[in-house]
Structure formats: C-alpha cells, structure tokens
Amino acid sequence: MPDQKFILRDFIPEDCVHFPALLKAVWKIQTDEDYWIWKYLKPPFPANGWVAEKENGNIVAFTGYWHRPAKIYNSKITPAMLVDVMAAPDYRGGKVYGKISERIVELVRDETVFGFTNPVSRRLFKTLVKNSIKIDANIPVFISFIDGGYAVRSNKLVKSVVGSVTRFAHKIRLKIPGNKNVLVQKAGKIEDEFNQLWEDVSSEYAFILNRSKDYLQWRYISSHTRKYQIWKAIEGERLVGYLVTTVKHESDRTRGFLIDWLVSRKREDVFREMINTAFGWFIDQRVDSIETWLMDHEKQWLKILRSYFFIRTKRNVSFLMAPINYERSNPILNNVKNIFVTIGDSDYLGIASI
C-alpha cells in the first residue's frame, strides 16, 4: 500500500498535464493534454473539480464537473454534471475515497447534480446520496444494421446474402418521398441561426440541456476526440433543425452514430428528412450499423427511427439526477419522462465509449 498522504484541493489549469497519465492508469485510455484543456478550460460554461495531490506533485485522483446551462421549459437553470470520477488503482478507497465522497455530498447538497454514470460511479453516487436521487434511469441503445450480415452468426455466404438484403431494404426506404420544402445540407459553420433555433424550440422540451451556438461550436467543431458532421435542415431561408453524426472505424467493422439533434416537437417531417439524408451519407461511408441513445418515452422520435429499422439492444447507459432541495419538489425533475438527452449531452466523447 503506497503512502496515503495527499492534499485535496480545487482543480487548476496546470493540472491538465497530469490527467493523461491518470486516465491511462485508471481506464487504459490514451489521451493528451490538449484533450483535457479542451474539456475543462475551453467549454462555454464553468468547469470545476478537485484533485488529490501528493507531496511530489503527482495527481492520484480527480473529480471534475461542468455547470451545464439548461431549461425547464422557459426557465433557465444551471445544474452540475459530474463528468470524471477517477483515482489511481493504488488509491481507490481509503482516505482519497473519503475526502472525495465528502465533496460530492456537499455538491449535491448545494446544487442540482446529474450524470451519465458507469457502473463504478453509479454505485458510488447511489451509496453517497441515495435519498437525494429522484431520477435513476437507463437510456436504451438502439441500432439499425445497414449490413445485417454483421449481426448474423453464420458462414460467409449467409452473411453476404443477409447484408445485401438489408442494404437493399435501406436504399428502398430512402426513396420514400418526404417534405420537398425541407432541404438538408452539411453545415460548414455554426452561425447565429443556431441560436435562433434554440430560442424557438427549446421551450417545447420539459428539460433540455443548452444547445446554443457557442456550445455546438465547442462540442462538435472544436472537439479533440472525433470528427463530427453537422447537418442543418432549411425551410425557405430559416433553420428548422440540426442533426449531428459521426463514424467510427474499427478493426472489424465501421459504426455510424446519431449523436445529437434539435428540432421542434411539432416537426416530425423535419426530423425524418434529416435522418433520411444522414442514412444516405452513412451508406456512402459503408458503415455496418448505426447507433443512437434515446429514452423510451420519446415515442415520436422512436417511431421515425423504427421506420429506419432501428431496434432496441440489450445495452443501456445509466442516467442519475439529484435535484437540489428547492428544485426537488419540481415535478419536472422528479420524472424521467420529462428528460430529453442524446449521446451529445454526455461526456462520452469518443475516446472509448463510442
């Protein structure tokens, strides 16, 4: 057991240089300092945290959180989103665990806190603040197989036949006519029109995290983890929706992802046009499958996704929310059916999770 002497202090910018080594020791994931600078020094909202530092300057634990602007219909709130909770293997438990736990409990006491948790952090969160948690949900992962042969356990001939059938089915689906007045095109820049879209439609969502121009620019254009493609839907000269996609190339497959979107709940036709355009692009990218996350209660979007052959997988992502005392009585923050989130709202930024 190593020497457990350390100080727990607030995160400072100079700590970013230590985080790549810490993350690699904890999760075997490779990052660089630029990633952590982008994640904690560049967001268009405050980012804070605590580090456990040894006398020699080594960082052996870190807990980080963002203050994410959000809306409850037209009311603005700024909940804290727990993003990183990690400790070097030799320092898990013991004094480090106790000190960080105290800080998390204080944070939940003072602010509304939420997070997309892995099994370890979920157990920690539920152990520490069980009575404060009002939403404890699993977000299902949905998948549509472009190459259905990938999902079949059989010989190469059968896989090839199944793959050809599913690709043909998708190509036929793309030919079904939609709203010809809506033009979906690639967005090279994030302009002021994205702010207007946010102001126009955000009040239709009971709880939604900020999707303003500055956020989109930081999250998808300046990202240090993955290249994203942003699609915008134009009707006349007005932006009526956007969709964010990405592709991940792996050794044995290529996966596409629907990362994020914003569109009026009254405009299912716009969502359908964006999905249709994205699917055509995915097919051109020769992806084997397309995945997304979506809460079960989002029936209107699920209906459209299922028309593109999305099925629910056995995988899911944990989501927890602990409202602060004066917000705990708000019925919006007590019912998961009021929460709208996508992959893009999480801190699963493409290093390992997607």
CATH of the domain at 149: 3.40.630.30
Is 332 within the bounds of a domain?
no
Q: Given 94, 116, 133, which residue is the final one in a domain?
A: 133
Number of domains in the chain: 2
Same domain, 176 and 105: no
What mean pLDDT do residues 191-204 have? 97
Q: Which is it for strands 289-293 and 254-263: parallel, antiparallel or unpaired?
A: parallel
Round to whole Å and give the CA distance between 308 and 30. Answer: 35
Those residues with Cβ within 8 angstroms of residue 155's Cβ, 6 or more apart along the chain or in another chain: none
Same domain, 211 and 122: no
Q: Given 133, 148, 174, which residue is the final one in a domain?
A: 133
Residue 354 near residue 343, CB atoms below 8 Å: yes
Same domain, 149 and 297: yes
Same domain, 119 and 149: no
In terms of pLDDT, which residue wins out, 192 or 328?
Answer: 192
What count of other Cβ atoms lies within 10 Å of the Cβ of residue 338?
Answer: 19
Same domain, 172 and 318: yes
Is 226 within the bounds of a domain?
yes
What mean pLDDT do residues 76-85 have? 95
Host domain of residue 290: 140-323
Same domain, 228 and 192: yes
Whether pLDDT at 232 is above 60: yes
Same domain, 17 and 118: yes
Round to whole Å and give the CA distance between 291 and 246. Answer: 10
Whether pLDDT at 170 is above 90: no
In terms of pLDDT, which residue wins out, 223 or 339?
Answer: 339
Is 245 within the bounds of a domain?
yes
Q: Give all strands of the β-sheet with 75-77 in edge-to-edge order.
A: 75-77, 70-72, 207-209, 339-340
Query: Percentage of residues in the chain with pLDDT exceeding 70?
Result: 96
Dihedral sign computed on CA atoms, order 136, 199, 281, 180: positive
Same domain, 155 and 290: yes
Same domain, 179 and 272: yes
Residue 330 near residue 318, CB atoms below 8 Å: no
Q: What is the pLDDT of residue 352?
A: 43
In terms of pLDDT, which residue wins out, 329 or 155?
Answer: 155
Task: State the pLDDT confidence band at 327, using cuts at 50, 70 and 90.
Answer: low
Whether pLDDT at 47 is above 90: yes
pTM score: 0.93
